[in-house]
Each structure stands twice: as C-alpha cells, then as structure tokens.
Amino acid sequence: SAVISQKPSRDICQRGTSLTIQCQVDSQVTMMFWYRQQPGQSLTLIATANQGSEATYESGFVIDKFPISRPNLTFSTLTVSNMSPEDSSIYLCSVEVNGRGYTFGSGTRLTVV
Amino acid sequence: AQSVTQLGSHVSVSEGALVLLRCNYSSSVPPYLFWYVQYPNQGLQLLLKYTTGATLVKGINGFEAEFKKSETSFHLTKPSAHMSDAAEYFCAVSEGGATNKLIFGTGTLLAVQP
C-alpha cells in the first residue's frame, strides 16, 4: 500500500489565523481525500482533490474555509482558514492505490486557542 | 448516496469472549466495505476489506467479517477478545476504485474487561 507523509503532526494556533497541512504520497495517485475527525467522533470527508482541477467539497464544507491545492500526482495541501476553536480536530489525508484499500496519513492534530 | 450505520457506539466484552461489532450499509451500487481500527492517539489501520468474491473476509489480528447482501450487513467478529483489542472500530463503504470516496460510520468503541 502507499505511504503517506503528513505534516505537521500537531499544532496549536491562534484564532483568526490559518494553517496549511501537507500530504506527500510515495506513488502517483489520481485522487486524494481530506477528512476531519472532531474530538470523539468519526471521520467526515471534507473534499476530494484531483490533480489539475478544483477540489470537490462535501456538504457543509466550502473552498473559502478549506482551500486545497493539488499541484501534482503525489502532493496536496489543505488550508484551514480564519480558524476558530470549533476547528480543533484531527485532519487526515487519504489515498487508494491499486485496490489495496485506503491508506491514511498519520493526521494533523490541530488545537485552536 | 452511500451510508453506513454502526449499531452500538460502545461495546464491552470480557477477555476471551466473542467480539461482534455490527455494521449495516446502504449503497446503490455493489459496495466495497472496510473495517478500520484506531488505537488511542494513533492513526487508522485497515483491518480487512471486501471488494468482490468470497463473502467471508479474514483480516489482521484474528478478525473477520462476512458480507451479507440480503441483510446489507458487514459485521466484524473475533472469536476471543484480547485486552489489546480495546480500540475504536470504524466501518466504511465506497463504490470501489481509487477515485471514489470512503464514507465512514460513527464508530464503535470496544472495551475489553479482564
């Protein structure tokens, strides 16, 4: 399966600021998926990122709040903009390679104060 | 649209007892089904998956799950629980393929009592 390097692993940020999370995959993938896991809850899909086109956002998530870049087939970034304490969550990226199941990055634990 | 329902947000079993975690899905196309485990403060690990073929799927750590189309279920079982099995378990569904998103259930927290 693919190996995903995600960073930062954790951060504490001031409200009103933005944080950019990076995911690097060790193989080329068509789609990359970004998830949010709020404290004590399951994973919710934020958006799907395809190289060369705008990301597709799920209901309740908008590009202005969570802009995504996908400059090539191995890399993507998610920015959490104008943060508030409600954005405190774990953010994860994921890919699926060769039918072996979805692999997840180790996650970015974000705390907004 | 696809969805997953996990019955029981908390399940407690005794060490050595059968583990049964329930998952039902909804999908308009033949589903791909997954179980993931998340240990405290750790990432997600794939336990097992069903795509096509044999409906009884064996995974890591002695877990297995059976795809039952007639019941739209994919329950996770393990004959004998270990203390190390205590974790959160997530059932998930996709339409298959690398371009299709994975939708998660709400999770089941498994506690194993000595």
Contact A102 B94 (CB under 8 A): yes
Whether A80 has its CB under 8 Å from any CB of chain B: the answer is no
| Residue whose C-alpha is closest to residue A2's, from A76, A67, A90 | A76
SS3 for A107?
coil
Nearest to B49 among A30, A44, A101 (CB): A101
Residues on chain A touching B51 (C-beta within 8 angstroms): 99
Inter-chain touch A45–B101, beta carbons under 8 Å: yes
Interchain pair B106, A42: CB under 8 A:
yes
- Could you list the pLDDT tens digit for every one of the 114 residues in chain B? 789 999 999 999 999 999 999 999 998 888 999 999 999 888 899 999 999 889 999 999 999 999 999 999 999 999 999 999 999 999 999 887 666 888 999 999 999 999
- CA-CA distance, B80 to A46, in Å (whole number)? 37
Within 8 A of B90 by CB-CB distance, chain A residues are: 42-43
**What pLDDT tens digit does each residue of chain A (113 aa) get?**
789 999 999 999 999 999 999 999 999 998 899 999 998 889 999 999 988 888 999 999 999 999 999 999 999 999 999 999 999 999 999 998 776 678 999 999 999 99
Phi, psi at B99, each rounded to 5°: -100, 0
